[in-house]
Structure 1
């Protein structure tokens, strides 16, 4: 079993219900054992067009599925839940991102793990710190807590 962390987000419709529904679809997938779901965090959208506030969470799980099997499953869940990909970083009822897959690094046209922007996004780092502050990012070799504190500090300097 590999320890995996997912980012969940929604800013269209009943956001909390969307996150719970995605969670339910994920944890009922054969080969996935859920461990912990963070609280939901309301965050402002970053990039893309003007859009409503997001709810974000991080889910910890263990799995026997490969990264690409997970990607296929999560994209199927998003589609089944009605996600339409029309605008990059646009509004969405559900977004499921693979943040970390153990300490593996995947870099191909379909999938990038660790998620390439996770270390820059407080809406990922804050819920991640809640459930697993000591997990080490396999590229930066820093804990999630260290990355979170560094990101917070960098925002204070630029404001």
Structure 2
């Protein structure tokens, strides 16, 4: 039994993607890329499969996550703190969200530093990402929206290399 389990684990690890690649082997989508947590909670496993130990849970619906690898129905993800593991693909959504960095961030009515403030977002808030252009991102949360510098957010394309 012990030898069989070890051989299974070794063959599983050998099949996992090594290093960065341009496209996922399963979906053909870019790697890395951002997704969001579809479920209210998701088990984060040590490896891709139900046989692997659950290390913790993500508990915030909409939380942005970076997909760094794919294996069958599993996606290896990382959060804004670099913590992660393997999550079943059914618990993830392609809807783009971002996490507000810092204590508070002003949402501007236009993508300009001197534009009027439309709203203020608290640090740690999760917002839906509409689009980004020229270093500014349009976000919306709780019925309020505005433009924010992309460096004030985690989950934008500028974070993909980090």
Which TM class, normalised by the smaller chain length? under 0.3
Q: TM-score, normalised by structure 1?
A: 0.24
Q: Which has a greater percent of helix?
A: 1
Greater share of strand: 2
Larger radius of gyration: 2
Q: Which has the higher contact order (CA 8 A, sep 6+)?
A: 1
